[in-house]
Structure 1
Amino acid sequence: MPASPADSVIYRGVFGDPDVAALFTDTAEVRALMLVLGALAKAQAEEGLIPQAGAEAIHRAGMEIQIDPGALAPLTAENGVPIPALVAQFRAEMQAPEHSQYLHWGATSQDIMDTALMLRLRQTLAILGVRLDGTITQLGTLAEAHADLAMPARTYGQIATPTSFGAVVAGWGAPLLRHREKLAGLREAGLCVSLSGAAGTLSVMGEAGPRVRARLASGLGLGDPGASWHSTRDRIADLAGWLCGVSASLGKMGQDVIALAQSGIDEVTLAGGASSTMPQKSNPVGPSVLVAIAAQMAALNSAVAGAGVHGAQRDGAAWFTEWLSLPQMCCLAGRAMAHGETLAAGITPDPDAMARNFGALGLAHAEALSFALARDMPRPEAQALVKSLISQAKATGAPLRELAEKASGHDLAEIFDPARQLGQAPAEARAFAAAAKAI
């Protein structure tokens, strides 16, 4: 297995994401860097900092030249960043020193690399946004179809009171709607160019510097931060936090599905999954991957958060930490969202199993019973009576309803009908379904 299972030919179908991973290859990075260099030259020429002819030559070359990423490795090993090697190769390929001398004019390596990263993050978020919408849509359909399907709610691993399967599904989907809202803000405020020069002052570009930055942002379709952010990494932290949050929400869905599908509960069945030696099993592979990715994302997000403590005006060590973590987070989030959409489309509830799991004794209705009895007696007395009846039911095997009706003299059929004790669960399921349809 490679250091990253996502890069494995064997395991990439489990943990990898070819669409997102394609944005984080060496080739993709070099292409993005060259696009930024070309756009920078164009912006500088528009402000009169470099000749128009030079800018046009650089911009055109940035679109046309092919540079082997491997050729950048030796100098990158020395410098820690690929920009010096890339600029040297770029100039050599241009074969026009009168124009190539203006390449990378007044910028620093971090400007070019952070801006190129933002171009790739924009594409990443576009992919993730489509998948997020697909998952929400699938969950909305599922919630609406089963808004009134009674099942046992579980708290601390034990059966509590009735809820509906649709409400459980809505509980998976509602956080995704909130993540979707946050995504719009990330795109608007988080995706911006970096152009600050060697120490964040843009001194080489003088008074034209802010205007060049604005033109660069406009040319690349990114935001203008209005200031240096070499060592203020809140945008990166916000993005990583969002990726982690979405993965955690999907992991929660995966964890719940594993529990609902386990032997002895059997309240849902899933598409896919198998065992190599036990034909009766249908292993919850997708949900398990969601849980594993959520755990790994929490660790990676911790690294990015720690890297937010950049020293002074630029900090190589903290910056490098982002490199080790953020691309993995993007790829894992992509895989999680793909699994999430597939899972949401492949869940089938089992109403018979849900009804059976309420149990013959009817103990899931104890709370409703205590409130019903409180109409005729003080609630503490009603609670004490219900506890006594529960003990009798467990000791004798007699249904709680039978014992309660004998003790109270009332017909308690409604209290012991799960479908009539769902509270706001169906309404919450339908509200989520409506919100999912509206995206």
Structure 2
Amino acid sequence: MCAHITDSVLYRHLWGTDETHALLDDGPRVQRWLDILAALAAAQAEVGLMPDDAARAIADHADVALLDLDDVAAETRACGHSTLGLIRCLRRVLPEPAREWVYYGATVQDLTDTWTALVLRDVGALVARELADIEQAARTLAQQHRDTVMPGRTHGQPGLPITFGFKAAVWAAELGRHRARLTEGRRRWEVAQLGGALGTMEFWGDAALPLLDAFARRVGLAAPDVPWLTARDGVAEFVNLLALITATLGKIGQEVYALQRPEIGELAEPVTTGQVGSITMPHKRNPELSEHLVTLARLVRSDASVAVEAMVVEHERDGRAWKTEWAIVPEVCLYSHTALRLAHTLLDGLRADPDRMRANVDAHGGYLVSEPVMRALAARIGKHAAHEVIYEASLAGRERGVDLRTALLADSRVTAHLKADDIDRCLDPEAALGAARSFVDRVAGEA
């Protein structure tokens, strides 16, 4: 039995990955907490705050296999404190001389915030890896379909021809910017926490600052300029970056979702053998990947707003703020890594139909290239006057049910300035792509 879908035996594959569960589940979480406590003890011994024997004993017993997590949970419920249950159970397995030294002067946030920073570091590495692969997949699509003409759409309606490579290049460039944001932001959220009761490190006296540096070094994080008990901006920034990343993935998913409708038929996501779309309509092939990308992105954006709310903190410690992160950080990490994996699968196996794309352009009878005609006419009579003429000619042509060429040749205001050959050149979709191909080359050529 489970209360959260991320832990469901049936459905957890849709909401998390093995790699993120290996960081966030109870066993790995407690082990990482024990590792942090061992690093703290070693750092305290290094600066003369703790006997070396006590630090070694704590390190030797910092093993989740030595603890009964049910006992830890029972002690936690009994004392009502977030980590005292763990302390009690750990002290029972320690040799007596080391028991008074464990968790020496540290507080809940020193442990849990440092754990959070390590999670952000490790999940950030997973995100960076997946983003690089997805960006490359988008670049590959851009290169492959540099010249694949398709309808460009604005407000959900066909506008001008573009190439599918241009669309994929926009995706690749956006993903690349997220990778840059992730790299640049690491120095702000991969930061250890060690402040003691109020962040002043009073308990450790003159050894406070050397201890902070030693502790940060041992856990593999940067030392903060000042403890961040009430400064939650680093966590909020990371979570909101995941919201940006998954929003891009959701946008890609939504585009694929729409363009693989049979009546459009320009794209098709990969389908695995045995995948069933409906138990009542055997013919159905549902957009499972693209649909779920949109769902995951919505959930991450929802949690991101809570991360920003957690920045509003009262005084020098406020559990109302930082404890919300205990709920949302694991969620967004699970959802985001899952979304990245799905997006990689989607783009790697995405099938474009160039013939259908071109047919969808041609099906509009030349009306998708009204702008080049307007541009040619504008050189003779001015842009706004040309817009009015082509607008009225297009409207009349559609009311008559004829193609744009026929409509233009029937309008003397057009033929007074443009010959049939001029109009034909303007109506060639290949000549109406603007700088689409050049933009593909610029993006696909970037490292």
Q: Which category of TM-score, normalised to the shorter sequence, fits these structures?
A: over 0.9
1:208 alignment counterpart: 207
Confirm or deny that 1:433 pairs with 2:444: yes
Letter in 2 for 1:123: D
Contact 1:234/1:308, CA 8 A, preserved across alignment: yes
1:159 alignment counterpart: 158
2:385 alignment counterpart: 381
Instruction: Give how far 1:126 is off.
Output: 1.6
Q: What is the CA deviation profile of residues 122-164 of structure 1, one whole-angstrom value per residue up to 9, with x for unaligned ones?
A: 2222222211111111111111110111111111111111111
Q: Partners in 2 of 1:361 and 1:352 — Cα distance?
A: 16
Match among 379, 390, 393 for residue 397 of structure 2:
393
Q: Partners in 2 of 1:284 and 1:368 — Cα distance?
A: 36
Instruction: Give how far 1:14 is off.
Output: 2.3
Letter in 2 for 1:296: L
1:225 alignment counterpart: 224
Q: Which moved more, 1:342-351 or 1:373-382?
A: 373-382
Q: Partners in 2 of 1:2 and 1:248 — Cα distance?
A: 28
Contact 1:73/1:82, CA 8 A, preserved across alignment: no
For structure 1, the residue ranges without an aligned partner over 5 or more in a row are none
2:286 alignment counterpart: 283
Q: 1:162 to 1:320 in 2, by over 3 A?
A: same
The 5 Å alignment of 1:342-353 reads 342-353=345-356
Could you say what the CA RMSD is over the residues aligned between the two structures, in angstroms? 1.7
> Identity of aligned pairs, percent?
33
Q: Partners in 2 of 1:315 and 1:68 — Cα distance?
A: 30
The 5 Å alignment of 1:286-435 reads 286-358=289-361, 359-405=363-409, 407=415, 408-411=418-421, 412-435=423-446
Q: Partners in 2 of 1:287 and 1:54 — Cα distance?
A: 54
Confirm or deny that 1:176 pairs with 2:175: yes
Match of 1:206, SS state, is helix
Instruction: Give how far 1:419 is off.
Output: 1.8
Q: Partners in 2 of 1:69 and 1:424 — Cα distance?
A: 61
Q: Partners in 2 of 1:379 and 1:25 — Cα distance?
A: 63
Q: Which moved more, 1:15-24 or 1:268-277?
A: 268-277
Q: Partners in 2 of 1:214 and 1:4 — Cα distance?
A: 38
Q: Partners in 2 of 1:100 and 1:414 — Cα distance?
A: 86
Match of 2:161, SS state, is strand
Structure possessing the higher relative contact order (Cα contacts under 8 Å, 6 or more residues apart):
1
Contact 1:16/1:331, CA 8 A, preserved across alignment: yes
Q: 1:398 to 1:12 in 2, by over 3 A?
A: same
Letter in 2 for 1:275: G
Q: What is the CA deviation profile of residues 223-275 of structure 1, one whole-angstrom value per residue up to 9, with x for unaligned ones?
A: 11121111110011011111111110100001111111112111111211642
Q: What is the CA deviation profile of residues 257-314 of structure 1, one whole-angstrom value per residue up to 9, with x for unaligned ones?
A: 1111112111111211642233443211111011111111111111111111121111
Confirm or deny that 1:114 pairs with 2:113: yes
Q: Partners in 1 of 2:74 and 2:99 — Cα distance?
A: 22
Instruction: Give how far 1:173 is off.
Output: 2.0
2:139 alignment counterpart: 140
Contact 1:5/1:16, CA 8 A, preserved across alignment: no
Q: 1:384 to 1:431 in 2, by over 3 A?
A: same
Q: Which moved more, 1:7-16 or 1:208-217?
A: 7-16
What's the TM-score once normalised by structure 1's chain length?
0.95
Instruction: Give how far 1:388 is off.
Output: 1.9
The 5 Å alignment of 1:244-283 reads 244-272=243-271, 274-276=276-278, 277-283=280-286
1:235 alignment counterpart: 234
Instruction: Give how far 1:2 is off.
Output: 5.0
Instruction: Give how far 1:188 is off.
Output: 2.5
Q: What is the CA deviation profile of residues 342-374 of structure 1, one whole-angstrom value per residue up to 9, with x for unaligned ones?
A: 011111111121112122421111111111111
Q: Partners in 1 of 2:243 and 2:403 — Cα distance?
A: 46
Q: Partners in 2 of 1:153 and 1:64 — Cα distance?
A: 56
Q: Partners in 2 of 1:55 and 1:125 — Cα distance?
A: 31
For structure 2, the residue ranges without an aligned partner over 5 or more in a row are none
Match of 2:425, SS state, is coil
Q: 1:259 to 1:65 in 2, by over 3 A?
A: closer
Q: Which moved more, 1:215-224 or 1:379-388?
A: 379-388
Instruction: Give how far 1:335 is off.
Output: 0.6
Instruction: Give how far 1:434 is off.
Output: 2.1
Instruction: Give how far 1:339 is off.
Output: 0.6
Q: Tell me which stretches of 4 or more aligned residues in structure 1 moved more than 6 Å.
A: none
Q: Partners in 2 of 1:360 and 1:51 — Cα distance?
A: 82
